[in-house]
Chain A
Amino acid sequence: MTFFIQLVVTGFAQGMVYALIAIGFVIILKCSEVFNIAQGHFVMIGGYLGYTFLVPLGLPVWASLLAAVVVAVFMGLVIERFTLRPLIGQPVLAVIMMTIALATVLSGLATLIWGAEYKAYHGLLPTIILKVGSISIPSESLIGLIVSVICVTLLMLLFRYTKIGLAMRATAEDLQVVQSLGIKATTVYAVSWIIACIVGVIGGILLGGISGANMVLADIGLKAFAVVLLGGVNSIGGAIFAGIILGMLENVAAGYLDPLLPGGGLAQVFPFIVMIIVLIFKPHGLFGLATIERI
Chain B
Amino acid sequence: MALYSGTFHENYAQDMAVFPTKLHWGLLIIFLILLFTCPLFFSDRILTILTMIGITIISVHGLNILVGYCGQISMGHAGFMAVGGYTSAILYAKLSFPFWAALPCGALAAGIAGLFFGLPSLKIKGFYLIMATIAAHFIIIWAIIQLYGLTGGADGLSVPRPRIGAIMLGTKTNYFYLVMVLACLATLIAHNIVRTRAGRAFIAIRDNDLAAEVMGISLWSYKLQAFFIGCVFAGVAGALLVHYISFASTDQFPFMDSVWYLGMLIVGGMGSTGGAIFGVVALKLLDELVTVIGPILSAAVAPQAAASVAIMSHGLIIIIFLIFEPRGLYHRWEMIKNYFRLWPFSHQE
Contacts and interface: CB of A to CB of B under 8 A. Distances in A.
Contacts of A98: 318-319, 322
Interface in A84-100: 86-87, 90, 92-94, 96-98, 100
Contact of B123 (A97, A283, A293, A295): A283
Interface residues of A, number: 46
A295 B212 CA distance: 10
Q: Which secondary structure dominates chain A's binding surface? A: helix
A112 B309 CA distance: 8
Interface of B is mostly: helix
A79 to B, nearest CB: 11
Contact of B319 (A83, A115, A261, A276): A83
Interface string B106-137: 00000000000001100110111011101110
Contacts of B134: 222, 225, 272, 275
Contact of B266 (A97, A222, A269, A295): A97
A279 B131 contact: yes
Contacts of A104: 256, 311-312, 314-315
A87 B326 CA distance: 9
A295 B145 contact: no
A263 interface: yes
B139 A269 contact: yes
B36 interface: no
B119 A280 contact: yes
Contact of B142 (A112, A268, A275): A268
Contacts of A86: 322-323
Nearest to B319: A101
Contacts of B210: 293-295
A105 B154 contact: no
Contacts of A225: 131, 134
Interface string A107-149: 1110110011000000000000000000000000000000000
A115 B315 CA distance: 19
B259 interface: yes
B35 interface: no
B146 interface: yes
A103 B315 contact: yes
B263 A101 contact: yes
B84 to A, nearest CB: 20
B305 A112 contact: yes
A7 B214 CA distance: 51
B308 A111 contact: yes
A58 interface: no
Contacts of B302: 112
B153 A269 contact: no
Contacts of A276: 120, 132, 135-136, 139
B64 to A, nearest CB: 13
A295 B312 contact: no
A196 interface: no
Interface in B324-340: 326
A116 B312 contact: no
A125 B66 CA distance: 50
A248 to B, nearest CB: 20
A46 to B, nearest CB: 19
Contacts of A101: 263, 314-316, 318-319, 322
B263 A97 contact: yes
B220 interface: no
A92 B323 contact: no
B329 to A, nearest CB: 15
Interface string A203-216: 00000000000000
B315 A102 contact: yes
A229 B304 contact: no
* Residue of A108, A262, A294 contacting most chain B CB atoms (<10 Å): A108
Among A83, A97, A273, the one with the most B-chain Cβ atoms within 10 Å of its Cβ is: A97
Interface in B128-160: 128, 130-132, 134-136, 138-139, 142, 145-146, 148, 153-154
Interface string B41-81: 00000000000000000000000000100000100000000
B122 to A, nearest CB: 9
Contact of A115 (B211, B304, B318): B304
Given A98-B319, A263-B154, A295 B211 contact: yes
Interface in B242-270: 256, 259, 262-263, 266
B169 to A, nearest CB: 32
A98 B308 CA distance: 18
Contact of A108 (B123, B214, B308): B308
B304 A280 contact: no
Interface in A35-90: 35, 83, 86-87, 90
Contacts of A222: 134
Contacts of A97: 259, 262-263, 266, 318, 322
A268 B67 CA distance: 27
B289 interface: no
18 contacts: A35-B130, A87-B322, A90-B322, A93-B67, A93-B130, A93-B266, A94-B326, A96-B73, A96-B127, A100-B318, A101-B315, A107-B311, A108-B309, A112-B308, A268-B138, A272-B139, A276-B135, A295-B214
Given A101-B263, A104-B314, A263-B145, 17 more contacts: A90-B326, A93-B262, A96-B73, A100-B318, A101-B319, A105-B315, A109-B312, A111-B307, A115-B303, A225-B131, A266-B142, A269-B139, A272-B134, A276-B135, A276-B136, A276-B139, A295-B214
Please name the 5 residue pairs, one residue from A and one from B, whose CB atoms are nearest each other, closest first. Answer: A108-B312, A104-B315, A272-B135, A101-B315, A112-B308
Interface of B: 67, 73, 119-120, 123-124, 126-128, 130-132, 134-136, 138-139, 142, 145-146, 148, 153-154, 208, 210-211, 214, 256, 259, 262-263, 266, 302-305, 307-309, 311-312, 314-316, 318-319, 322-323, 326
